[in-house]
Structure 1
Amino acid sequence: MTDLVNVSVEELTEYSLADLKSLEKKVAKAIATYDERKKKAALAELEAKAKEMGFSLSELTGAKGKPVKASGVAKYCNPDDPSQTWTGKGRRPAWFLDAIEAGKKAEEMEV
């Protein structure tokens, strides 16, 4: 994988507009899902450690057997603020409705 953190603006100018927009979408998705991915990794590590010690994580935390429902994965992001996302389920956010009203298509806002 290319080390994008150290890529200069001059190097980015070599990319086409389509490549830059694709990269922007990927970065927005990675940012939007960062906390969830870190939480899942931490939970897996804790469960493995508890199992190694002969327990389940729910036994150690006192949690009931009911699993916590995870929030959905973002399907759309606000073109003006990629940190605002929507799973495509439930009520449509104002930014999504505003973008549709302004002529954007839902496909253009997909993550």
Structure 2
Amino acid sequence: MAQLETMNMEDLAKARAETEAQLAQIKKAEAEYEGRKLQELKAEIEAMVARAGYSLADIFDGKSAKKGGKAKQPPKYRHPENKTITWSGRGRQPEWFKDALNSGKTREDLSI
């Protein structure tokens, strides 16, 4: 590339346009590189899992690791009157659980 100080305005504009085009190509290549690396990594993992006699679905129970639905927790508490209503003890307390505690029952009374 010629010395920038000796270039006229037309040559400078042309050099800028060429540089910006090259920069756009570099950015595109960077983005494609990440995609290629992820595909290569996934292929390596799938091959490793296949050598062990499994599939990714076996490992992730048919769910994507990103989407990763949490495993359902077993029930820890049971409704005092309706035994089909249960709660795992996680998340917001159900109204029936709060009502039972307010009426004098303990967590142990409601435990399964």
Which has more radius of gyration? Answer: 2
Fold conserved between structures, TM > 0.5: no
What TM bracket, shorter-length normalisation? 0.3 to 0.5
TM-score when scaled to structure 1?
0.42
Using structure 2 for the length normalisation, give the TM-score. Answer: 0.41
* Greater RCO, 1 or 2 (C-alpha within 8 Å, sep 6+): 1
